């Protein structure tokens, strides 16, 4: 048992004040002859002053015994984690997970843990990923257990493993990715022996399912400081196992020779995007698009006779590579579509400042971006990383002008709902055709006309439709 200093005592007291149900739940378990301990991330977050509404407990009770204790007390119960020893409940708005002491083992081949129940709190804490997650507070007794120096590491802002890192990562290689994630989330330093083990054992990550890697990587990307986590993944070789496009950016000098490689430029773009997120919280799609926006450059690099480097159409190649990678990582189609759309559009703005854009081009920009427009604004601004202050100021002014122009045209037309001036029913009635390909072709023609010329009155739209239909041979 660790002796708490006054600050730690206050933190634990605050935890139990904020969550008075903990003692009540503990008394129910004690009455049934079982231990109950608040554990892991809940204790860590309580000591950091960031406790949320999710509480994790561990107990010597088996799942069926836990169910017997909480039946009639919990507002809701779910058993989806029962095979792993976890019973979930909800009480007064709190989400609580209660897990039987574990003694997990991995056979070094399969991708998922083989769960066996432990016999003591110490057994349970010894198989946890990091020392800062291997602390417990008993309820209702409030005894603090810290066998591996988690308090010390929390104070030192250090990420260490309870056992030797090789043993810990051998049990579950995903923990290497979790180390990077906690570094990104907490701003902690990963202990050098842990980093060395991550580097030596990076290939073991191949044992882990794409879904588990995806979930851990997503948490890293929406953390407070994903750059720290990303650098750790690249430096240890872990990124090469599931996101090799990012490490590949190190091989390329950017076309303006402003950065030693596109990788460094990319990390700056991610940081810029985070600063532009606003009050809505972390935006994974925006951050991921910032990370992937230049992954098409290695495949499109060309050196001209004057020695200048170019990456023509790298946004097209990058969008394709992004789609392939996110599909391999099992991201949902809607999330993938958002990120791919942003990567494909991130260069569209360049050239606006030369005065080449008509109102038609502005309409197309808005229409092609659709619901991604606000994110596209942020990504495009984030991509300006030149050290030339005059050039940066000019690009910012150009984009300000584009946004003002979008607002002006939007005030005159409903750009969010650009549709042809005639709908499908009107097209069929005017041309005397049934539903089919001709209606779709006519609709697309009128949509392009709408983008080029803005809203047409009914007579103009009908005249253009008849002219098109005659040219296509659909009417005489």
Give the pLDDT of residue 88.
Answer: 97
Q: Within 21-101, where are the H helices?
A: 21-31, 41-48, 63-70
3-class DSSP state for residue 39? Answer: strand
Give 443-446 contacts, CB < 8 A, sequence gap 24+: 446/420, 446/421, 446/422
- Name, of 85-89, 278-282, 308-312, 453-457, the range with top average pLDDT: 85-89
Mean pLDDT, the chain, rounded, equals 87
Give the pLDDT of residue 105.
Answer: 60
Residue with tokens 């005059």: 390
Q: Which conformational region is residue 253 in: left (phi greater than 0), alpha (psi within -120 to 50 degrees), or beta?
A: beta
**Burial degree of 153 (CB within 10 A; 0-12, 13-18, 19+):** buried
Q: Which of 164-178, 195-209, 340-354 bottoms out in mean pLDDT, i.e. has the lowest?
A: 340-354
Top-confidence residue, 258 or 74: 74
Mean pLDDT value across residues 431-443: 86
The closest of 229, 179, 222 to 201, measured between CA atoms, is 179
Mean pLDDT value across residues 332-359: 85
Give the pLDDT of residue 279.
Answer: 84
Top-confidence residue, 261 or 43: 43
> Does position 364 have pLDDT exceeding 50, yes or no?
yes
> Does position 433 have pLDDT exceeding 80, yes or no?
yes
> Does position 258 have pLDDT exceeding 80, yes or no?
no
Residue pLDDT, tens place only, 4-33? 566 566 666 666 666 678 999 999 999 999
How far is it, in rounded angstroms, from Cα 402 to Cα 422? 29
Q: How confident is the model at residue 274 (pLDDT cuts 50, 70, 90)?
A: very high
> Does position 400 have pLDDT exceeding 70, yes or no?
yes
Give how far the C-alpha of residue 351 lies from the chain's centroid of Cα atoms, to the nearest Å: 31
Q: What percent of the chain has pLDDT over 90?
A: 54
Mean pLDDT value across residues 435-462: 82
What are the CA-CA distances from residue 303 to residues 254, 295, 314 (Å)?
12, 18, 14
> Does position 257 have pLDDT exceeding 60, yes or no?
no
Residue with tokens 């030369």: 354
Q: What is the pTM of this model?
A: 0.81
Residue 435 CB partners (closer than 8 Å, separation 6+): 424, 428
How far is it, in rounded angstroms, from Cα 267 to Cα 382? 11
3-class DSSP state for residue 226? Answer: helix
Top-confidence residue, 85 or 418: 85
Mean pLDDT value across residues 40-52: 87
Instruction: List the structure tokens of 40.
Output: 């892991």
Mean pLDDT value across residues 363-386: 89
Give the pLDDT of residue 354.
Answer: 62
Give the pLDDT of residue 38.
Answer: 93
Give the pLDDT of residue 189.
Answer: 97
> Does position 312 have pLDDT exceeding 80, yes or no?
no
Q: Which residues pair with 189 in a beta bridge?
A: 158
């Amino acid at each position: 048992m660790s002796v708490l200093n006054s600050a730690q005592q206050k933190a634990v007291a605050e935890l139990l004040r904020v969550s008075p149900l903990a003692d009540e739940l503990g008394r129910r378990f004690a009455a049934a002859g079982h231990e109950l301990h608040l554990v892991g991330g809940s204790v860590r977050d309580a000591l950091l002053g960031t406790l949320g509404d999710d509480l994790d407990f561990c107990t010597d009770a088996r799942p069926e015994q836990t169910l017997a204790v909480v039946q009639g007390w919990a507002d809701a119960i779910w058993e989806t984690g029962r095979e792993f020893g976890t019973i979930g409940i909800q009480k007064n708005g709190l989400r609580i997970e209660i897990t039987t002491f574990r003694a997990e083992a991995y056979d070094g081949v399969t991708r998922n843990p083989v769960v066996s129940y432990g016999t003591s709190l110490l057994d349970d804490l010894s198989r946890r990923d990091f020392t800062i997650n291997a602390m417990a507070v008993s309820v209702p007794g409030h005894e603090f257990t810290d066998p591996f120096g988690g308090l010390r590491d929390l104070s030192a802002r250090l990420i260490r493993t309870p056992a030797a890192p090789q043993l810990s990562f051998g049990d579950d290689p995903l923990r290497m990715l979790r180390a990077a994630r906690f570094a990104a989330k907490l701003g902690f330093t990963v202990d050098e022996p842990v980093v060395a083990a991550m580097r030596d054992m990076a290939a073991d990550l191949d044992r882990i399912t794409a879904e588990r890697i995806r979930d851990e990587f997503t948490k890293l990307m929406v953390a407070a400081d994903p750059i720290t986590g990303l650098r750790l993944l690249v430096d240890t070789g872990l990124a090469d196992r599931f996101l090799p496009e990012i490490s590949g950016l190190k091989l390329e000098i950017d076309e303006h020779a402003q950065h030693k490689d596109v990788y460094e430029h990319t990390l700056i773009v991610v940081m810029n995007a985070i600063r532009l997120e606003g009050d809505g919280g972390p935006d994974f799609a925006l951050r991921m698009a910032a990370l992937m926006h230049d992954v098409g450059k290695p495949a499109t690099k060309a050196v001209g006779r004057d020695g200048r480097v170019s990456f023509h159409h790298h946004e097209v190649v990058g969008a394709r590579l992004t789609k392939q990678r996110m599909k391999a990582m099992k991201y949902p189609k809607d999330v993938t579509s958002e990120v791919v759309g942003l990567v494909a559009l991130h260069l569209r703005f360049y050239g606006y400042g030369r005065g080449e854009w008509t109102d038609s081009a502005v309409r197309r920009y808005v229409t092609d971006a659709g619901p991604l427009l606000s994110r596209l604004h942020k990504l495009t601004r984030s991509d300006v990383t030149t050290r030339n202050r005059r050039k940066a100021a000019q690009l910012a002014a150009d984009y300000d002008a584009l946004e003002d122009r979008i607002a002006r045209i939007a005030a005159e037309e409903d750009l969010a709902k650009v549709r042809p001036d005639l709908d499908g029913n009107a097209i069929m009635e005017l041309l005397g055709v049934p539903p089919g390909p001709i209606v779709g072709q006519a609709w697309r023609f009128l949509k392009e006309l709408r983008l080029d010329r803005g809203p047409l009155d009914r007579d103009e739209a009908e005249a253009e439709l008849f002219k098109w239909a005659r040219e296509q041979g659909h009417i005489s």
